[in-house]
């Protein structure tokens, strides 16, 4: 999908800015990525009998929103690299990365106005945007250390979360954009309400499975493009494997894992110890079961669509992205 969507994204980002600023705005797009959200939008559109040309600008808007969240997420997490390259803030500075994020927001609005259903698509994107922000806030509040200089974090930090709270967080932060991608693709095809509902269900459960897979890979994966145990390094309680391990381990080992998560700057030996503790639990098996549950629900939703090569493509995208090993 990159060859179809990227030229549109770059054209939109370059509009109304200086040549100097374009380097800043194009950087995150040029670092790579699977263009999964545009693929979902375009394939959903085609699966409902729509035309490619009607899905391209909506798909571009979705990828711009996704990329915007990556820029902001990297600033919040203080992440120096993404996909093996310097993050936008690391390469250009925090102030300029924040400006890039603001420009991405403006570009999303411009892109929506060039779609055939600006009101409907704009409403979905705005609602999803707010969900993602709410999910990001929850993710930060589930961190067990850091941000002590930020009053909201000090006052509202959660030291324990339920499985329901975890699912709410990943639903907002990750699954909402998957759902929106499929819904917007269906709208671009003037799909029936039955088709829209089926694709929303597919996208939502795909997004949940995708994030659970990402959490598992953070602890167990190789060749993921980021250091193993990065969520532990970032003190994250909002990782399904960490969460389930804390519920499964004996009390003494639970406390040791919690203490590592609360450590200001975990060392390599701390990360190794935390991963070893997690491996002593049944967390990976239980997380994999939850992943399979949502992947199955996503697959079942696709059966409500008429058989076609594009429905088969949606099935293939699901399988490829929830059975990742790196």
- For residues 287 and 285, what is the distance between their CA atoms, to the nearest angstrom? 6
Contacts of 80 (CB under 8 A, 6+ apart): 86, 87, 90
DSSP state of 250: -
- Domains in the chain, CATH or no CATH each: 2-322 (1.10.600.10)
Per-residue confidence band for 324, with pLDDT thresholds at 50, 70 and 90: confident
pLDDT of residue 301: 98
Structure tokens at 248: 């499964």
DSSP state of 306: P
**Coil, helix or strand at residue 82:** strand
pLDDT of residue 195: 98
Q: State the angle between helix axes of 309-322 and 193-220 in degrees (0 to 180), rounded to the nearest 10.
A: 20
With 80 as the cut, is the pLDDT of residue 226 above it?
Answer: no
pLDDT of residue 323: 83
With 60 as the cut, is the pLDDT of residue 325 above it?
Answer: no
Q: What does DSSP say about strands 81-82 and 85-86: parallel, antiparallel, or unpaired?
A: antiparallel
- For residues 235 and 258, what is the distance between their CA atoms, to the nearest angstrom? 9
With 90 as the cut, is the pLDDT of residue 227 above it?
Answer: no
pLDDT of residue 312: 98
Average pLDDT over residues 253-259: 96
CA dihedral 256, 262, 266, 270 (to 10 degrees): 10
Average pLDDT over residues 122-128: 98
Average pLDDT over residues 69-97: 93
Per-residue confidence band for 84, with pLDDT thresholds at 50, 70 and 90: confident
- Structural contact between residues 10 and 157, judged by C-beta atoms closer than 8 angstroms: no
pLDDT tens string 160-219:
999 999 999 999 999 999 999 999 999 999 999 999 999 999 999 999 999 999 999 999
Q: Specify whether the backbone of 306 is left (phi greater than 0), alpha (psi in -120 to 50) or beta.
A: beta
pLDDT of residue 215: 96
Burial track 165-180 (b if 16+ CB lie within 10 A, e otherwise): bbbebbbbbbbbbbbb
With 80 as the cut, is the pLDDT of residue 151 above it?
Answer: yes
With 70 as the cut, is the pLDDT of residue 326 above it?
Answer: no
Listed range (63-67, 221-225, 287-291) with the worst mean pLDDT: 221-225
Contacts of 204 (CB under 8 A, 6+ apart): 171, 175, 176, 178, 179, 298
CA distances from 296 to 1, 175, 221, 272, 292 (A): 25, 15, 22, 33, 6
Sign of CA dihedral 42, 46, 52, 55: negative
Per-residue confidence band for 2, with pLDDT thresholds at 50, 70 and 90: confident
Q: What is the mean pLDDT of the chain?
A: 95
- Structural contact between residues 321 and 35, judged by C-beta atoms closer than 8 angstroms: no
CA dihedral 5, 59, 89, 107 (to 10 degrees): 100
Per-residue confidence band for 241, with pLDDT thresholds at 50, 70 and 90: very high
- For residues 229 and 164, what is the distance between their CA atoms, to the nearest angstrom? 23
CA atoms within 13 A of residue 26's CA, in its CB half-sphere: 16
């Amino acid at each position: 999908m990159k060859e179809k969507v990227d030229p549109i994204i770059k054209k939109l980002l370059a509009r109304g800015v200086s040549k100097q600023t374009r380097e800043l705005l194009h950087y995150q797009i040029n670092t790579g990525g699977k263009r999964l959200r545009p693929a979902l939008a375009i394939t959903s559109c085609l699966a409902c009998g729509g035309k490619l040309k009607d899905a391209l600008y909506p798909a571009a808007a979705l990828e711009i929103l996704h990329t915007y969240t990556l820029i902001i997420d990297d600033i919040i997490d203080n992440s120096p690299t993404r996909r093996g390259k310097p993050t936008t803030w690391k390469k250009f500075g925090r102030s300029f990365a924040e400006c890039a994020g603001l420009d991405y927001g403006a570009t999303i609005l411009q892109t929506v106005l060039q779609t055939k259903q600006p009101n409907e698509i704009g409403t979905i994107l705005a609602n999803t945007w707010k969900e993602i922000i709410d999910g990001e806030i929850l993710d930060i509040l589930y961190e067990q250390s850091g941000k002590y200089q930020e009053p909201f974090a000090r006052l509202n930090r959660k030291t324990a979360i339920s499985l329901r709270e975890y699912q709410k967080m990943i639903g907002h932060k990750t699954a909402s954009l998957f759902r929106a991608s499929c819904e917007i693709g269906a709208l671009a095809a003037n799909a029936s309400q039955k088709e829209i509902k089926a694709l929303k269900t597919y996208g939502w459960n795909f997004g949940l499975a995708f994030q659970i897979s990402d959490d598992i890979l953070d602890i167990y994966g190789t060749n993921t493009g980021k250091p193993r145990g990065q969520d532990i390094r970032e003190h994250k309680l909002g990782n399904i494997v960490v969460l389930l391990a804390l519920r499964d381990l004996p009390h003494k080992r639970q406390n040791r894992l919690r203490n590592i998560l609360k450590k200001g700057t975990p060392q390599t030996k701390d990360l190794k110890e935390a991963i070893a503790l997690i491996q002593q639990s049944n967390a990976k098996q239980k997380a994999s079961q939850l992943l399979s549950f949502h992947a199955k629900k996503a697959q079942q939703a696709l059966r409500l669509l008429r058989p076609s090569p594009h429905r088969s493509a949606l099935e293939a995208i699901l399988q490829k992205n929830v059975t990742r090993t790196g």
